[in-house]
A and B are shown apart, each in its own frame.
Chain A
Amino acid sequence: MIYDPNPVAFWLLAAMVAGCALAVVRARKLFHAGLALVGTLFAVAGLYGLLQAWFLAAVQVLVYAGAIAIMLLFAIMLTHHMMNPDLKSLTTQPWTAAALCLMLLAVLLGGTLSSTWQTAPDTTLSPTWTPKCGFQVAEAVPSVEALGFRLLDPFTLPFEMVSVLILVSLIGALVIARRDPTLPEPPEGREEKAP
């Protein structure tokens, strides 16, 4: 079965990704930017589903949208006065940055679209269930078993290192964000200044 992603699904998801990403960088209220990020993450998870990486799509929703984005939303709620018209999310030098980013986009698109990528013809791979045993190396459909085998065989060291990394970042975040009782309180009343 030749892999043929549904064009309607792709364009819908791509529109959602682009629209929500634009909202993230341009929203006036910070919470709306956070919600737009969650929208982007869900749309990208949908794209992973379209690329038949179902496990990664679930992990994306579970970890990215469900933990990282929520944590960022909590940070927004803790460091922001509630219904402030959000002077702080106004932008600095928007036109220069836009020009730079357009140039970057041109370079990236030119580079990727003009290269010929060595993709294999997709005539022998089936997008549905793969057998539990009999793991094949050149598997295009990332089933959960195949991912598990890959994580344990070639990628053992990164797997273990990532768990240590997450532990380290957890401890580090706790230490950094902890309120030190020996330091004096910062002066009150240094509120957000208008630009």
Chain B
Amino acid sequence: MEPIFEQFVRDLTGGFQVPFWAPMLVSLGLVLAFIALNAMFMIWLERKICGRIQRRMGPMLTGPKAWARFSMWTGGWFQTPCDSVKLLLKEDIIPAQVDRFGFMLAPVLVFMAALAVYVPLPISSTSYAQSAPIVVAVADLDIGLLYVVAITTLTILAILTAGWASNNKYSLLGGMRAGVQILSYEIPMLFALMGPMVLAGSLSLGDLVLVQHAGLFGVPLLGWFLVPSFLGAVVYLICAVAETNRPPFDMPEAEQELVAGFSTEYTAMRFAMFYLAEFSNTFVVCMIFTAVFLGGWTLPGFIPPSSLNLGFFSLPYFDLLAGMAIFFAKAYAVVLLLMWIRWTFPRLRPDHLMTFGWKFLLPLSFVNLLVCIVLAAIQQIYFGGNPG
């Protein structure tokens, strides 16, 4: 991201050299703004889809009446800002017997995890004013895939701390269940992601997308890792739903069983941190799915020009914008799929959940890895290896 940002500032100001800490701060600001805005949009979308699946209208009363009158789908878009303000104005209660250090640390940790996982996610690539196409991510790490899985461990820690520090048997039970659930589903998730890693020969998410663009066995249409690693994609999606504690895997947060699980004692802004982190993690998981299995910001056979010539002026960074549009369209499609799953299936019991993860998904992910290794070997031997 640094070369692009520096080039952009140089173009805008005619040669101003940014200090070394500026790209980091700008990335941080952009990611924070994105998390907030995206959460607002996604919560509204979630409630609309929930309503429509349950044959009712969802939020309709907030926001201008014109939007509501236009269609059932566009009403009530101001609901989430109103709810956020309500949540911010609530009283922040810290019960007397909690462990104060752990109680205050847990929301911080969960938000740290939610923020840190955005670093290697590539949303586009651009070659405007650069010598070679550069992947647009906060930092396209060499070990992007492994980094993303490693950061989920911070979420486990945050939930365990929240559950223990609340000094409440329901919270402890919810925290331990959530911790065990996330830990158990992390392993099939890692193995499902190993399939594309073997096919691409790299752990970097930008590299994975570029190899998908180049195609499998020379055919660009088969390039998306959804095709050779289909089992892995399915396993990854299921594990992703379990990782983010979404229904049908939301036993740790089940209102009917555990009050609110590990977040029972949390009110106002601290609860908002958990809620925000959950929605942010949902979107991150969809972003990873898009980058790894759906070809990221690329469409097969289509390379957008780096600046679009509109006659009277040329729009710079066009490939960056086009890539971003494609990426977010795919990511939101996956988000819609996850929301559809959420409001359709009943909740899984904890023992069913563990059996499903360990005895069904894990062997499936091994099978997927085997298939991907065979395909990668064929690609290597007969088709001259993967590019890049």
Contacts and interface: CB of A to CB of B under 8 A. Distances in A.
Interface stretch (A9-17, A31-39, A158-166, A181-189): A31-39
Contact of A31 (B152, B164, B176): B164
Interface in A91-140: 129, 132
B23 interface: no
Interface residues of A, number: 26
Given A66-B153, A73-B160, A77-B176, A83 B147 contact: no
Contacts of B151: 61
B179 A35 contact: no
Given A35-B102, A58-B150, A67-B183, A143 B167 contact: no
B300 interface: no
A70 interface: yes
B146 A58 contact: yes
B153 A65 contact: yes
A151 interface: no
B203 interface: yes
A77 B164 contact: yes
Interface string B139-169: 0011100110111111011001100110100
Contacts of B183: 67, 70
Contact of B142 (A31, A32, A61, A144): A144
B146 A59 contact: yes
A150 B156 CA distance: 32
Contacts of A54: 141-143
Interface string A58-88: 1101100111011001100100001100000
B201 interface: yes
Nearest to A55: B143
Given A55-B146, A74-B179, A144-B142, A61 B153 contact: yes
A135 to B, nearest CB: 13
A70 B156 contact: yes
Contact of B167 (A57, A83, A144): A83
Contacts of B179: 70, 74
A70 B175 CA distance: 12
Interface string B101-114: 11001000000000
Contact of B97 (A31, A69, A83): A83
Contacts of A29: 99
A73 B152 CA distance: 16
B121 interface: no
B172 interface: yes
A132 B201 contact: yes
Given A62-B150, A70-B179, A35 B143 contact: no
22 contacts: A31-B102, A31-B165, A32-B102, A35-B105, A54-B142, A58-B143, A58-B147, A61-B150, A62-B153, A66-B150, A66-B152, A67-B153, A69-B157, A70-B156, A70-B160, A70-B179, A73-B160, A77-B164, A77-B176, A83-B99, A132-B201, A144-B203
**A-B pairs with the 5 shortest C-beta distances?**
A66-B153, A61-B150, A58-B146, A62-B150, A58-B143
Interface of A: 29, 31-32, 35, 38, 54-55, 57-59, 61-62, 65-67, 69-70, 73-74, 77, 82-83, 129, 132, 143-144
Interface of B: 97, 99, 101-102, 105, 141-143, 146-147, 149-154, 156-157, 160-161, 164-165, 167, 172, 176, 179, 183, 186, 201-203
Given A67-B153, A144-B142, 18 more contacts: A38-B157, A58-B146, A59-B146, A61-B151, A61-B153, A62-B150, A65-B157, A66-B152, A66-B154, A66-B156, A69-B157, A73-B164, A74-B160, A74-B176, A77-B172, A83-B97, A132-B201, A144-B143
